[in-house]
Amino acid sequence: MLKRRRPIVRPSNRDYYGGALMMAIGIGAMIQGRHYSLGTLSRMGPGYFPVALGAILTLVGLAIIATARFTKPETEEAALPPEWRGWFCIGASIVAFVVLGKYGGLIPATFAVVFISALADRENTLISASILALATVGVCIIVFWWALQMNFPLFGWG
């Protein structure tokens, strides 16, 4: 039933990518941190600590790459194929919650977040997702709007 799909990053290469990512974050932090004044060791400016952290992270990233050859992936299960549908639906559901929360109100936002994220699972159908979403809307109205009196109108933000 499952088609054999290849993972994006092969486990044997994972540490090279991981180390490179850490170096990128570290160098980024250093570049951004240079915009704030560094100061001296006895009187540190706001830029000193982040630049130092960026330097450490870059070095650690380098070390991860340097040792990547020696470490073997511990488990094969990590070599899972990418799950684009799941990622897309879960991401979209949260964006929908924010957008609909702003312009539609609590009920549409709640429905959207549950409905769209439920579709991330291949076994859920449009009908089961709708039922689940409606049930959550019910719970939401009772718990958050009625019981906790949250500051979030049911419909329309205006």
Partner 1 sequence: MIEQSLTDLWYGFSVALQPHNLMWSFFGVLVGNLIGVLPGMGALSAIAMLLPLTYTMHAVPAILMLAGIFYGSQYGGAIGAILLNMPSHPPHAVTCLDGYPMTKQGKGGTALGITMIASFFAASFGITVMVFASPLLVQIAFKFGPTEIFSIMLLGLLAGATMARGSPLKGVAMTVVGLLIGVVGTDVNSGAIRFTFGFTELSDRVELVALALGLFGVADFLRSVNRIHFVGNEAKVRLRDMRPSKAELKQAFFPMVRGTLVGTLFGAMPGTGPTITTFIAYAVERKISKTPDRFGRGALEGVAAPEAASHSKTQVDFIPTMSIGIPGDAVMALILGALLIQGIQPGPQLISQHADLFWGLIASFWVGNILLVILNVPLIGVWVKVLQVPYRYMFPCALFFIAIGVYSTNNSLFEVYEVLFFGIVGAIFLALDFPVAPILLGYVLGPLVEENFRRALLLSRGDLTVFFQKPISLGFMSVCIFLVLLQVFFALRGWRRKRKLGTLAPPLRLAGGTPVDND
**Within 79-108, which residues bind partner 1 (CB under 8 A)?**
80, 83, 85-87, 90-91, 93-95, 97-98, 101-102
Report the nearest approach of partner 1 to the CB of residue 49 (Å). 5
Q: What is the C-alpha to C-alpha distance for residues 136 and 133, in angstroms, rounded to an integer? A: 5
**Mask for 47-86, x = binds partner 1 (CB under 8 A):** xxxx--xx-xx--xx-xx--x--xxxxxx-xx-x--x-xx
Smallest gap from Cβ 110 to partner 1, in A, equals: 6
**Contacting residue, 121, 134, 138, 156, with partner 1 by CB under 8 A:** 121
Identify the bridge partners of residue 44 per DSSP, sorted by sequence position: 39
| Cβ(38)–Cβ(48) below 8 Å | yes
Please give the residues from 131 up to 150 whose contact with partner 1 meets the rule CB under 8 A: 132-133, 136, 140, 144, 148, 150
Amino acid at residue number 124: N
33 near 51, Cβ under 8 Å?
yes
User: Closest approach of Cβ 33 to partner 1, in Å?
Assistant: 8
Cβ of residue 95: shortest distance to partner 1, in angstroms?
A: 7
Structure-token match 């994006």, residue found = 8
Nearer Cβ to partner 1 (74/155): 74
Q: Does 40 bind partner 1 (CB under 8 A)?
A: yes
Measured CA to CA, the distance from residue 74 to residue 66 in angstroms comes to 18
- The separation between the first and the last C-alpha atoms of the chain, rounded to the nearest angstrom, is 48
Q: Least Å distance between CB 113 and partner 1?
A: 5
Greatest pairwise CA separation for the chain in angstroms:
65
Q: Which residues pair with 39 in a beta bridge?
A: 44
